[in-house]
Chain A
Amino acid sequence: MDTDQELVILALCCHYCAYAAADMAGSMRLQYPGSVRVLRFPCTSKIEVNYLLTAFERGIDGILVAGCLEGGCHFLEGNLRARRRVERAKKLLDEIGLGAGRLEMFNLSSAEGPRFAEIATEMHERVVELGPSPLRRGREAVLAGVAGMASLAEAVIAGEKT
């Protein structure tokens, strides 16, 4: 790996909070690492364990799941379900030896643009410390994987996939 910028970290964001916060971070011209790629979901509860594992299998270096503040979910408890799924995925990552540190869940509101930039930076720094995923197959393949995850996310939003 030549630079930190070659890391690929997915930010799986809830439409109602983290995605808007990421948008605000952009509007505020806040800086956060270019390794973080934002994908929008209708709710973090739409993110299943197999979606997270598929991303890691495709060589993605880290994933942050960003949902609404606890108690503030648009769908009442979607973010709480997401947290439990993230915990399960973390256990599996530990079990196979990839390490739970590559995955984390955060909660923030749509008004927290600076907080989004902060967690994106925090996750980037953590993955820099862990190093690139031992499962990555080269930058092109990883980026193709990201594109695949993005189209899968779009299909989820469109209701074509569950």
Chain B
Amino acid sequence: MIVADRKKIPEIRDMIQGHDRVLLVGCGTCVTVCLAGGEREVGIIGAALRMSLKLVGRGHVVVDQCTIERQCEDAFIDILAQRVSQYDAICSLGCGAGVQTLAERFPQKPVYPGLNTQFIGILESQGVWTEKCLGCGHCRLGEFAGVCPITRCAKRLLNGPCGGSREGKCEVNADTECAWQRIYDRAKALGTLDRLDAIAAPHDWSTGIEGGPRKVVREDQCIAGLGPKS
């Protein structure tokens, strides 16, 4: 899932300066699961924002809130159309994709981000989320026993650990597992250590964000005549 965390209330308050009616829009998908922008969090941030505005003498600003199923798809945003017309601005509590989808759908409305989108990750334990995937566009997990050195090794090494691996921990951060220790342990348990003997080729970064914004097109799913948006 996409993991995000909320911005500080004063930052959100300053962003919406100059607007008298603001709609906080939550998202019911990834950011609900990572407890950053779902219905409950929207309620908390909404109440805190209204109080914060009042305390700085901007109590006249109306802050209403709603949460939709998914912000990153037009079909789910349509139900907002009528409501949005009653507001000067939107503050999205979705990920960066949600913010931009709202901005494209409502070109006349300023849209502000209420969250900081962090990474693609997993729930490691209750209340702790960890990055697991960089979205590099060329998955090589099969070569590394299902542990991604591109995301989880600070140096993105593909052919074994550096000298900073200490008792299974990374020298960059003692709380972080050494990805290569994990790769070795898993490959050993799976009986596939011999696969690690092969020299891993340098990573092809052209499939990642370095090659510009990416697009996935499934011709068979595109509606005839419409095709992908440019």
Chain A positions within 8 Å of B, measured between CB atoms, are: 48-50, 53-54, 56-57, 92, 95-98, 134-135
CA distance A65 to B129 in the complex (A): 29
Q: Tally of A-B residue pairs with Cβ under 8 A? A: 40
CA distance A54 to B46 in the complex (A): 10
CA distance A95 to B52 in the complex (A): 9
Please state if B43 and A134 are interface contacts (CB–CB under 8 Å): no
The one of B10, B40, B56 that contacts A95, using a Cβ cutoff of 8 Å:
B10
Please state if A53 and B8 are interface contacts (CB–CB under 8 Å): no
Assess whether B51 is interfacial by the CB under 8 Å rule.
yes
Assess whether B9 is interfacial by the CB under 8 Å rule.
yes
Expressed in whole angstroms, the minimum distance between the Cβ of B143 and any Cβ of chain A is: 41
Expressed in whole angstroms, the minimum distance between the Cβ of A113 and any Cβ of chain B is: 34
A to B CB contacts below 8 Å, 12 in the list: A53-B44, A54-B47, A56-B51, A92-B44, A92-B48, A95-B10, A96-B9, A96-B55, A98-B51, A98-B55, A135-B51, A135-B54
Expressed in whole angstroms, the minimum distance between the Cβ of A122 and any Cβ of chain B is: 24
Please state if A95 and B50 are interface contacts (CB–CB under 8 Å): no
Please state if A50 and B40 are interface contacts (CB–CB under 8 Å): yes
Please state if A53 and B51 are interface contacts (CB–CB under 8 Å): yes
Main SS class of interface, A: helix
- Binary A-proximity of B20-64 (CB < 8 A = 1, otherwise 0): 000000000000000000001001100110111011100000000
Interface band, chain B: 10 to 19
- Chain A residues near B55: list those with CB within 8 A: 96-98, 134-135
Interface-centre pick from B43, B44, B54 (highest chain A CB count, 10 A) = B44
Please state if B52 and A53 are interface contacts (CB–CB under 8 Å): no
- Chain A residues near B9: list those with CB within 8 A: 92, 95-96
Interface-centre pick from B10, B47, B50 (highest chain A CB count, 10 A) = B47
Interface-centre pick from A50, A54, A95, A97 (highest chain B CB count, 10 A) = A50
CA distance A95 to B7 in the complex (A): 11
Indicate whether A57 sits within 8 Å of B44 (C-beta atoms), given known contacts A92-B9, A98-B55, A135-B55: no
CA distance A54 to B43 in the complex (A): 9
CA distance A50 to B50 in the complex (A): 13
B50: nearest residue on chain A (CB-CB)? A57
- Chain B residues near A96: list those with CB within 8 A: 9-10, 48, 51-52, 55
CA distance A56 to B50 in the complex (A): 11
